[in-house]
Amino acid sequence: MHLVNLGARLGRAWALSLAVVAVLQATAGARAEPLAAPAGDVILTVHGQIAHSNGAQGAALDRELLKSFGVITLHTSTIWTDGTSAFEGVELAALLEHLGASGSVLRLVALNEYAVELPMSEAVPGGPLLAFRMDGKDLSPRDKGPLWMIYPYDTNPAYKNEVSYSRSIWQLTSIEVLP
C-alpha cells in the first residue's frame, strides 16, 4: 500500500511539473515576441519600464502600429471644441498592456515639450483615449495632433474636473513609464 501511495504521488508530481513547464513555455513565447518596426512616420515613442520595444529607444509607433492595439470611437464633448465630436484612437490602458508597462507614473510630453504626469492607475479600460482622428479626420499638429489624450467626459462626469482637463495633453509625441 505504501508503494501505491508513493506511485500516485510521483504521478501527480510529474503531471504538475509538466503543467508548470507548459505554462512557462507559453508565457516565455508571448513575452519573446518582438514589437513590429514602424512602417510609416513615428507619431509616438514610449520608453522606460516597458517589456516590449522595437528599438534601443523603446517603442516607436506609427499610426498603423497604434491601430493594431485596437481602435475605439469615443463620442464626447470637450471644453476646447464645439458640441460632441467622434474621437478615434487607442485606449491608454490597451497601449500600456500591449507594451508590458510596469511602472507607477506616466510622463506624457507634447511637441512643444509641455509635459504632464499621471498615475498609471488612471490608465483603465473606458478611461483616457489617445485619439488620432476627430470627426473622421486625422489629427495633425495644427489641430492638436498627432495624438490628443481625451477622457470620456460625457459618459463619466468624474472626468469633468481641472485635473483631467490639465492632463488632456494634445500634440502628444512621447510617453515615459516611470517606477
Beta-strand runs (E) in the chain: 42-48, 59-62, 72-77, 84-91, 105-110, 115-119, 129-134, 137-138, 148-150, 172-178
Report how far Cα 3 is from the mean position of its chain's Cα atoms. 54
| Per-residue model confidence as pLDDT tens digits over 125-175 | 999 999 999 999 999 999 999 999 999 999 999 999 999 999 999 999 999
Residue 65 sits in the same domain as residue 120 = yes
Residue 97 sits in the same domain as residue 47 = yes
Best CA proximity match to 90, nearest among 125, 47, 118, 137:
125
As a whole number, the mean pLDDT across the chain is 87
Residue 63 sits in the same domain as residue 134 = yes
Q: How many domains in the chain?
A: 2
Residue 48 sits in the same domain as residue 18 = no
Residue span of the structural domain in which 5 resides: 1-33
Measure the CA–CA gap between 108 and 117, rounded to whole angstroms. Answer: 6
Where does the pLDDT of residue 57 fall: very low under 50, low under 70, confident under 90, or very high at 90 and above?
confident
